[in-house]
Amino acid sequence: MVSQLDQLKAFTTVVADTGDFKQLAQFAPQDATTNPSLILKAVQKPDYAPLLAETVTAHKGAPLDEIVDHTLVRFGQEILKVIPGRVSTEVDARLSFDTEATLARARRIIKLYEAAGIERGRVLIKVAATWEGIQAARVLEQEGIRCNLTLLFAFAQAQACGDAKVQLISPFVGRIYDWYKKSAGSNWDEAANAGVNDPGVKSVASIYAHYKQHGIRTEVMGASFRNVGQILALSGCDLLTISPDLLAQLQAADAPVSRHLVPVDSVKPAPAPLSEAAFRYALNEDAMATEKLAEGIRAFAVDAGKLDGLIEAQR
């Protein structure tokens, strides 16, 4: 029997969401994504402690933020030895509201990859989908540096990313689901909000439909999944980035997988670009997106600080 993972690959590019590159080969993903939390989790494992120590030693006299970038790129290099496609490497979340600082870090990360012999086409610079992050991505794309806009919860974020012609967006499914489930409390009906009716799934499906209807070339990569049902309900999405635990579940199951998202035949003109004021107001009107974006940046910033601490302890 063909596994659900292999069936899914017929409709969607499967991406592994992990910094643990020793897990990758068994799932044969095309791409891989990392974030500060995943890298922090990986470097605390005995298998990866020598890699961190080696990187810190090699750049001992450098500023802390530079050593951090060397560490992120080192993990990216190892991941790219295992996968045929691209790796996403994230700019420090503490720069999410600083366009110029985001540009500087993104350019440095790309230079580090290129110095290691890796062409920029195999790297996606991951940036939070704040207004400032999206404007940084607009400039980077014009320089040939491809971007993955993350922590995306609102339709307005997706529209602004399309306006900026970014390479890829990562709308978060599970965190949207979490918010609506918590908000509903005892009134939450799990069965009624599963599969294609899951609020996170519906959000990604609407963004996918908008992009395809208007000929927007930005890739849609569903992210942050809580269960296999959410993944299968988005079969047909351009890409889906999936944790190793859920990849293993898909690999172990063989029930039929059908396609849910399908591109449209005709394309309509794209709507007028969002202004900064319109973007900020639309985001403000979306309580879920406002809360989850802020929460996500805070969480990534905390883990970035912890990674700083681990590096400082070895300098």
Q: Which residue numbers are catalytic?
A: 126
Q: Residue 130 has which token pair? A: 């704040």
250 φ/ψ angles, rounded to the nearest 5 degrees = -65, -35
Tell me the HSE value of 97 on the side-chain side, using a 13 A CA sphere. 6
CA distance 42 to 36: 10
Query: In 3D, which of 199, 156, 197 has the Cα closest to residue 181?
Result: 199
CA distance 282 to 150: 18
CA distance 157 to 159: 5
Could you tell me which residues come within 8 angstroms of residue 206 by beta carbon, excluding any fewer than 6 positions away? 155
63, 178 in Cβ contact below 8 A? no
Q: Give the number of other Cβ atoms within 10 Å of residue 133's Cβ.
A: 30
Phi-psi region of 220 (alpha: psi -120 to 50; beta: other; left: phi over 0): beta
Angle at 10 between CA 8 and CA 16, to 5 degrees: 50
Q: Residue 194 has which token pair? A: 């599963």
